[in-house]
Structure 1
């Protein structure tokens, strides 16, 4: 299994990177089989990302990072909170990717901030972004405020989110989209027929018998 971690932390040491490492370790523990983990530090790619936004061509380390993310079986993405949202560097990296690069890919969302008041960044900013990119986002996101480190709650959220990511990767292991001759992702074949019950029939079933 190829697990790629994208960390947008800027400082050294970085609480963003620390959270990313904890999530990666917990996911690897729950994964089936061997796990190959690659960490992409966006801080080291900032100049190349800026160049790519102006000339349209990734090069050097950025090209390797794009290839790693595109070829991953699952992603862990972690950003610090800037102005109540993800950082500009974080967003710029995902702007560099091809529009179909994350289609159907399992993604675990995480963020760090100075106060718990920013915890909704996961739902108001990160989840909409990765839904737009058509990734498959695990239900549990992980936010770590300054007061969460060493406190109860964070380890449990890390474990739960990591378990969900590992299970999702295992479940989708044989069902990743495959590029067809046109280069567009092919849709998985349907295995079950969907039964549609008209709303009027559902409503009638709920009414008390007279």
Structure 2
């Protein structure tokens, strides 16, 4: 099974720090799971213009292929102006919805106000619903205060939630995989 962590921003680093922590937790507790990080900051992704996704080239095609090859996801975004980033929304627009169907998603968000945690509930989860993805019950919101001056995630409560989310996505993915195997046998 392949878990893809997506850092859905081209600026800042806090979201990537939390995503990496979640992936570390999975690797530590489930070494059989293949882990990959997609850091959108490292790619020059074209703006979605509505064309067939198979016609994109370069970094855009590579990013679509990386997302398509994953079995499940931990997706993170900083919250800007009360919403997910344009970079993450663009990724969602580029990837055909069928790629996410029946796959597990866990969500992480970072931001500068405590109210921004609502973006997970009001924007990210409905997008996952549109994709017909399965969403982990937990999510993680990390405020700027939860990081050290060196950008390390230090808040114990947030670290516990990262661990819980990591376990939930793995549990859900394994349960779905086992259900699919049983269904195929019958």
Is this contact kept in 1: 2:9–2:87, CA < 8 A?
A: no
Q: Residue 53 of structure 1: SS of its match in structure 2?
A: coil
Whole-angstrom CA distance in 2 between matches of 1:118 and 1:165: 22
Other-structure match for 1:53: 49
Q: Deviations over 1:137-189 (max 9, x none)?
A: 10001110011222231011001111101111111224459xxxxxxxxxx67
Compare CA radii of gyration and give the structure with the larger one.
1
Whole-angstrom CA distance in 1 between matches of 2:160 and 2:77: 20
Other-structure match for 1:25: 24
Matches within 5 A, 1:118-157: 118-149=116-147, 150-157=154-161
Other-structure match for 2:150: none
Other-structure match for 1:201: none
Whole-angstrom CA distance in 2 between matches of 1:143 and 1:92: 21
Q: CA deviation at 1:95?
A: 0.5
Q: CA deviation at 1:54?
A: 6.0
> Which of structure 1's runs of 4+ aligned residues deviate more than 3 A?
174-177
Whole-angstrom CA distance in 2 between matches of 1:152 and 1:30: 19
> TM-score by structure 2 length?
0.85
Other-structure match for 1:166: 170
Whole-angstrom CA distance in 2 between matches of 1:118 and 1:175: 35
Q: Deviations over 1:90-124 (max 9, x none)?
A: 10111001121100001111111012121111101
Matches within 5 A, 1:53-202: 53=49, 55-56=51-52, 57-149=55-147, 150-175=154-179
Aligned Cα root-mean-square deviation (Å): 2.1
Gaps of 5+ in 1: 178-187, 192-210
Q: How many residues in Structure 1 have an aligned counterpart in Structure 2?
A: 176
Whole-angstrom CA distance in 1 between matches of 2:173 and 2:126: 21
